[in-house]
Chain A
Amino acid sequence: AQKVTQAQTEISVVEKEDVTLDCVYETRDTTYYLFWYKQPPSGELVFLIRRNSFDEQNEISGRYSWNFQKSTSSFNFTITASQVVDSAVYFCALRIGGTSYGKLTFGQGTILTVHP
């Protein structure tokens, strides 16, 4: 069975601070995909990034960066110079390859509040 753990339930920062959201996953499959989604108050899950298990290269997109480490089964997400608009619930998710039909297993989510 797959499992995703986001140990931080809530994080509160002041604008312009850097913040890292932790994600630890469990799976026995060797082929899997990791995702981060952002859920603003409107409710829509906004796709941020997908990472394949065979690609450990870290990625940066503007103020967002992701650190994927298979050795520790972690896929952490860092927001640099946070802004009020970053306030949302962030979910890490795992999908295994093969015949999983694309079913995602989500973590509990981390509520990020950025204060002005």
Chain B
Amino acid sequence: DTGVSQDPRHKITKRGQNVTFRCDPISEHNRLYWYRQTLGQGPEFLTYFQNEAQLEKSRLLSDRFSAERPKGSFSTLEIQRTEQGDSAMYLCASSGQITGEGNTIYFGEGSWLTVV
């Protein structure tokens, strides 16, 4: 399977604990995105990487959230001191160059987070 892969698919954690999600984009894609989706809502943009550079962050991304893409390949999204409001599905997506087919953004299956 050469699509976007995310790990873990599901995570249940206690409030206050830290969690980390990993995303492996489609191999030739240099652009990587994180989105968050809560029940009954469409996905909301969190952050964007072009290669290893984090070029944009949403105001939704509080100080407890940090994303990295150290070698321009896989990415991690860490949430520190989780709160119940962090419960959501975290979606990773990737795309190629901005022109032509690169305009299409492909999503992974998401990582469900439940904070209890």
Q: Which residues of A are in contact with B by a Cβ distance under 8 Å?
A: 4, 33, 35, 37, 42-47, 50, 52, 91, 93, 95, 101-109
Contact = CB atoms under 8 A, between A and B. Distances in A.
Given A42-B109, A44-B110, A103 B44 contact: no
How many B residues touch the partner, as a band?
Answer: 20 to 34
Interface of B: 31, 33, 35, 40-45, 48, 50, 55-56, 89, 91, 93, 95, 98, 103-110, 112
A101 B103 contact: no
A37 B55 contact: no
28 contacts: A4-B42, A35-B104, A37-B107, A42-B109, A43-B89, A43-B109, A44-B107, A44-B109, A45-B43, A45-B93, A45-B107, A46-B107, A47-B106, A101-B31, A101-B56, A102-B33, A102-B48, A102-B95, A102-B105, A103-B45, A104-B43, A104-B45, A105-B45, A108-B40, A108-B41, A108-B42, A109-B41, A109-B42
Contacts of B103: 33, 50, 52, 95, 102
Interface centre among B31, B41, B105 (most CB of A within 10 A): B105
Contacts, number: 63
Contacts of A37: 107
A104 B55 contact: no
Nearest to B107: A45
Nearest to B31: A102
Nearest to B102: A102
Given A44-B107, A44-B110, A50-B103, A101 B55 contact: yes
B56 A44 contact: no
A103 B108 contact: no
Nearest to B101: A50
Contacts of A47: 104-107
Contacts of A35: 104-105
Nearest to A50: B104
